[in-house]
Structure 1
């Protein structure tokens, strides 16, 4: 497991990695972790007995095994020579245990990596994936999803100050066999989450950050939306779901549940009502977002759950066939994972310092 602990003013972060036996219960502390400077993310092939840490501080990809319950460094690859000057929102995709791809939209490329020897074998141009009206383009969470022989993900864009969201999104198709990229326009903007229904339909949705911006100034973000791409199709539907209309309040996020159900975050304006001077970050981080449940095939089914409100930030993780989301404190100093799939879902799971940034089954 990886987590990030932010400084008091959120201008810097320190990353930590834990090796745990069970993510469904208990807690971990900083004294049990391996500390890494700056922001870091973890990736890997489940049960391959190794994992990879991408460090934004050192601009490296490090390969780790696990020995005696602790991470053990097995190799390191520098990224500066590949034209990467900073990392933000990177993602990895794997084609077997020894072949991986690091997607970095800041440098508009995907690096193919021979993981057995930790060497970059080629760079794949990603410039067509960039959103021209944005300063930064990001791949959506939780990353690429398999779609036949290819993988698919949406992208969205923001201003450099994160105070505006681009009105458009794109959908990317990636074929790891030959490294080819196909880019298609999405029917609405700000698409930051992807869920696959049991039917094979893919649903893309904007997040509470978009909803926060749109609430304060509709000129700074597109209206929160959800788009579908039907099973067997490679074009999204042109008709989208207006999420705010479904719930009647600022709405975002899309977290998979079981049997075609998903969960949304909806701002409870009776708990937090923005004033004239409120910022989008205050709205986003306010512990005033309620959890709603929605049947993906019937958006009008959305209903509020009797659950404690939480902050708007969402991280989603998929482990052992189950989905987990974060329940973070308003200051993001602590996070409890919540399992959103299974007969007893939602169910509270492991608690850790900071914000959970990655979970991977190593063995």
Structure 2
């Protein structure tokens, strides 16, 4: 069936926008729009806490959801910061009292730290908003990362990691460095070069899940794209938060290995993300077979004897996106091709975000096993947020809304709160 070009373009845009976050793509051209602050249009005291039905609690938890609302054809994006005290309700949040931010914004913060820090692709700045007693947010200082060579801040909220109230990291792909900054003083205090992550002509992106923390080590994962190809390189980045020294360890047995979880043996298991798996499914010459590798955090080396092709866990089916749940649980997504018709011109980003990937629980160890679950299928690329001791999946309904769904021992739980637009970041601020 043939579509007119304008309808086909609109359909492609709807499918691609959720995957831009989960696959590491960006709709902007990498230039600054001239904004001088990461947060604009938000007056002090705006953004009062609400569960959707009203109310401003004096105590209890408070969460900041930062949502992105796209204009016609995906342009003229505006973002909004909403504060709510209830993420378990299945109600829809309103933008009526939200703080408006220019561009595609992210809102992050130290868990329970009383503030949300807002950045966007409109400038290389972060603006602090402090939670008030009545549940509103008050705008504070802004810090610029431009002096470290950054033109904007975007992609994932998980690229931010808060070591403490006075120290935080931002893992930047385009400049291959970690920017060190002080969230309390709102100053940049240093940088950690990651030259070993530079691959000529390649786009570097980081994990869309929160970094792992072992002792004082902050651990994240990188992946690369070169046009339609995925280089066969996996990378683990370990930053010692006491010394700000980084170790980058690479492996060439498979690529786009942006996901990792800690196994019951203390080892870190990493695997190809769904986008890399989709590239291989559509053209095996463009990417190595999706695989699982094992990294020893003590020796800081990959296990040369451990290499599992993900398809062997599912009788040959395409799989990717390894991510964690409660109590050490681990999950993968496996493609059910009966739910999505693959054509000769199917784009890997579209395939990775198609609602055709089933949930599977994974037992990690010397010989991993996997069991497909009964949960409803969804997109293969996973965007999750850790809020306290709970982990939530951010589920997109096209570009119209986002629903928070808690990940339990058996996979996705009941749908929680939803917000209009696309939510790429959530922070527990109290």
Matches within 5 A, 1:91-102: 91-102=159-170
Are 1:311 and 2:311 counterparts?
Answer: no
Give the one of 107, 116, 135 matched to 1:69: 135
Which residue of structure 2 aligns with residue 244 of structure 1?
311
Give 1:321 shift: 0.8
Work out which of the two has the higher radius of gyration on C-alpha atoms and give 1 or 2.
2
Which residue of structure 1 aligns with residue 153 of structure 2?
87
Which residue of structure 2 aligns with residue 113 of structure 1?
181
Structure 2 unaligned residues grouped into runs of 5+: 1-64
Give 1:8 shift: 5.6
Give 1:169 shift: 1.8
Give 1:240 shift: 2.0
Structure 1 unaligned residues grouped into runs of 5+: none
Give the one of 174, 194, 215 matched to 2:281: 215
Contact 1:288 1:309 in 2 (8 A): yes
Are 1:23 and 2:120 counterparts?
Answer: no
Contact 1:336 1:352 in 2 (8 A): yes
Which residue of structure 1 aligns with residue 196 of structure 2?
128
Q: Deviations over 1:182-208 (max 9, x none)?
A: 111135321111222344332212221
- The TM-score, its normalising length taken from structure 1, stands at 0.90
SS of the aligned residue for 2:402 comes to strand
Which residue of structure 2 aligns with residue 255 of structure 1?
323
Q: Deviations over 1:32-72 (max 9, x none)?
A: 43222212222221111112112221221111111233322
Q: Deviations over 1:51-94 (max 9, x none)?
A: 21122212211111112333221110122233212334462233
Are 1:154 and 2:218 counterparts?
Answer: no
CA distance in 2, matches of 1:129, 1:251: 25
Provide the aligned length of Structure 1 versus Structure 2.
359
Are 1:170 and 2:231 counterparts?
Answer: no
CA distance in 1, matches of 2:375, 2:412: 12
Give the one of 190, 196, 209 matched to 2:262: 196
Q: Deviations over 1:279-324 (max 9, x none)?
A: 2233223222222222223765322222222223320111121211
CA distance in 2, matches of 1:109, 1:291: 34
Contact 1:260 1:296 in 2 (8 A): no
CA distance in 2, matches of 1:288, 1:216: 15
Give the one of 289, 292, 301 matched to 2:369: 301
Give 1:232 shift: 4.1
CA distance in 2, matches of 1:8, 1:227: 42
CA distance in 1, matches of 2:254, 2:201: 15
Are 1:2 and 2:66 counterparts?
Answer: yes
Contact 1:246 1:299 in 2 (8 A): no
Contact 2:322 2:330 in 1 (8 A): yes
Which residue of structure 2 aligns with residue 285 of structure 1?
353
Alpha-carbon spacing, 1:115–1:278, altered in 2? closer, same or farther (3 Å): closer
In terms of fraction of residues, the more strand-rich structure is: 1
SS of the aligned residue for 1:81 comes to helix
Are 1:362 and 2:426 counterparts?
Answer: no
Give the one of 131, 141, 144 matched to 2:208: 141
Give the one of 89, 101, 120 matched to 1:36: 101
Contact 2:212 2:218 in 1 (8 A): yes
CA distance in 1, matches of 2:351, 2:163: 40
CA distance in 2, matches of 1:282, 1:111: 32
Which residue of structure 2 aligns with residue 47 of structure 1?
112
CA distance in 1, matches of 2:245, 2:288: 30
